[in-house]
A and B are shown apart, each in its own frame.
Chain A
């Protein structure tokens, strides 16, 4: 599994878009980019994943650069309930995922 690099923390104003970056410069062709988040005192929750194309679901959008070396998770209208640690993982998904330290997102009122 490719190593990912994320900023340790970020702030975002409530109602604004939260853009969380992730660097995965050594990602291989068969590795997906997965995003999970962990709200305080809970287990991680799946958000979104992608291989090459940008993806959108009801929770978020995932923008993957053309060279696949980095990606951005976008929460279009952040709420206080989006305060959490966000994990970016690059992996084939065939074995257990490795969760790093993630980005602690604090949504401010």
Chain B
């Protein structure tokens, strides 16, 4: 597609439920990033996929968070047993690896509300 697509755009879930967030990167972009942004705060890095290399999971806040990516396509971020502090906008970005830090294209995000 022309841009990074994220779905759903909004998700309201009950505390304790599991949620899956989806990211469709730009075709051909080998790098994919997930960030979290709480209300009024900056972006918090979660996880980074680069081609077939092992993902950089150093930003995942707890073992309730996991992400997968099949090849260079779609990625899903799963949050198990959601808590109220998980409420945030989850942003996905993709880039060509050779573009390094200047080629990030972000999606519009998924706004997650845990009630």
**A101-B105 Cα distance, complex, nearest whole Å:** 19
Let me know if A101 and B107 touch, CB within 8 A. no
Consensus secondary structure, chain A interface: loop
What are the nearest 7 A-B pairs in CB distance? A43-B106, A93-B100, A93-B101, A99-B43, A96-B48, A49-B102, A101-B42
**A36-B95 Cα distance, complex, nearest whole Å:** 14
Let me know if A43 and B101 touch, CB within 8 A. no
Q: Which of A65-98 contact B (CB under 8 A)?
A: 87, 89, 91-98
CB distance from B77 to the nearest CB of A (A): 14
**A98-B43 Cα distance, complex, nearest whole Å:** 8
Let me know if A87 and B42 touch, CB within 8 A. yes
Measured CB to CB, the residues of A under 8 A from B are: 32, 34, 36, 41-46, 49, 87, 89, 91-102
Consensus secondary structure, chain B interface: mixed
For B42, the chain A residues whose CB sits under 8 A away are: 87, 99-102
Is residue B109 contacting chain A, with contact meaning CB distance below 8 A? yes
Could you mark each residue 6-48 of chain B with 1 if its beta carbon is under 8 Å from any beta carbon of chain A, else 0?
0000000000000000000000000001010000011101001
Give the B interface residue count (CB, 8 A): 22
Let me know if B104 and A44 touch, CB within 8 A. yes
Let me know if A44 and B101 touch, CB within 8 A. no
Let me know if B100 and A43 touch, CB within 8 A. no
Let me know if A99 and B102 touch, CB within 8 A. no
Among A34, A43, A98, A102, point to the contact of B91 (Cβ < 8 A). A43
Is residue B67 contacting chain A, with contact meaning CB distance below 8 A? no
Among B41, B48, B102, B109, point to the contact of A43 (Cβ < 8 A). B109
Let me know if B108 and A43 touch, CB within 8 A. yes
**A102-B43 Cα distance, complex, nearest whole Å:** 10
Given A43-B91, A96-B33, A99-B35, verify A34-B106 contact (CB < 8 Å).
no
